[in-house]
Amino acid sequence: MNPVFELSNGVLIPQLGFGTWQIKELSDIKTALTKAIEVGYRHIDTAQVYGNEEGIGEVLQSCGIPREELFITTKVWNSSQGYESTLKAFAQSCQKLQTDYIDLYLIHWPAVNLHANYQHMNQETWRAMEELYRLGKVRAIGVSNFFGHHLDSLLQTATIRPMVNQIELHPGNPANELVSKCQELGILVEAYSPMMKGKVFQIDLLLELANKYQRTVPQIVLRWILDRGIVPLSKSITPERIEQNAQIFDFELSQEDHERINELSTIGRIGTHPDHATF
């Protein structure tokens, strides 16, 4: 279960990631992540602010999978932005994850309303990330929750273009314009909250397609994302669903059904808007 996409720097990234947001209890982390690894996940997504890096580090140390076969993503939190504080946050994340390098390191949010000059803060954070990349401490660097204008500002001073942009993307918010911009820039898009916080189960079209393809609703959604050349981040603590969500590489949706799902875009975002976030 490890088909890959190639990042702009040649690094290979597994096409399906396992998200860990809101999985904080150590017992839940151990159960979910152990199952995910057992059924084939190798791409693990966490963040400084999730509060679970230590638990993830414990599981990855004991899972029996060689470190080079794992792809670990973490993110620098908004309050840790800035050159020196980013370097410090990175070192702390590595210590908690029990690894001496990170596969993908992201700026978690542009933090528009947290810093007086957020553009400069993003640029200083990115300068630290470029240094980590050049030192070989990270294999790839990128951003999360960045719209086009946030990317434009970052690129004014960046010497290395972001390799990834992780954004809220699901049938209610296909983010077509932003996805197109990222793809034109050679930036791979990752999709978080693909299940719309459970709302996908309330959409008649997705229920209809699940019946048509004899798949679960999450499998339909994950396949729709994957077929767009986007990495979906699947998250669950239920062992059965973790396994089901991994079984998306043996079918495809018709172009007609893709277009029908795209038309659900009128539902809109369900999470915080990057320009309105106050954290």
4-267 CATH fold: TIM Barrel (3.20.20)
Please name the residues in contact with 240: beta carbons below 8 A apart, sequence gap of 6 or more. Answer: none
Q: Which residues contact 37 (CB under 8 A, 6 or more apart)?
A: 59, 63, 65
Tell me what pLDDT residue 266 has.
79
pTM of the model: 0.97
pLDDT per residue, tens digit, the chain (279 aa), is 679 999 999 999 999 999 999 998 989 999 999 999 999 999 999 999 999 999 999 999 999 999 999 999 999 999 999 999 999 999 999 999 999 999 999 999 999 999 889 999 999 999 999 999 999 999 999 999 999 999 999 999 999 999 999 999 999 999 999 999 999 999 999 999 999 999 999 999 999 999 999 999 999 999 999 999 999 999 999 999 999 999 999 999 999 999 999 999 878 899 999 999 999
Tell me the C-alpha distance between 58 and 6, whole Å: 28
Token pair recorded at residue 187: 């930036």
Which tokens sit at 126? 């990115």
Instruction: Say how far apart CA 89 and CA 26 lie, in whole Å.
Output: 21
Amino acid at 78: N
Residue ranges of domains in the chain: 4-267
Strand segments, DSSP code E, in 115-261 are 138-144, 164-168, 188-192, 231-234
- Token pair 């239920």 in the structure block, residue: 238
Active site residues: 50
